[in-house]
Amino acid sequence: MCEANAYLIKDGKEEMFFENVDKIIPQEEGLLLEDIFGKKKIVKAKIKEMALVDHKIMLEEI
């Protein structure tokens, strides 16, 4: 599988935000994340780091 888990950095701490992320689509209001099951979430954040071998996406609130 190629999906990754998205973590949101809040107050310097990593918090799980969304599991099994398949797509990240930039939107005016932030980032649209979609998982492998078609569930979607929008977050006001920017991508801080992507470690795809580790299946980890780090997001930072904006």
Q: Which two tokens stand for residue 8?
A: 């949101």
59 with 14: CB under 8 angstroms? no
Q: Which two tokens stand for residue 50?
A: 């992507």
For the chain, the domain total comes to: 1
Q: In this prediction, what percent of the chain has a pLDDT beyond 70?
A: 98
Q: Which range marks the domain in which residue 45 is found?
A: 4-61
* Residue 4 pLDDT > 70: yes
- 45: β partners: 61
Kindly report, residue by residue over 15-60, the tens digit of the pLDDT: 999 999 999 999 999 999 999 999 999 999 999 999 989 999 999 9
* pTM, full prediction: 0.89
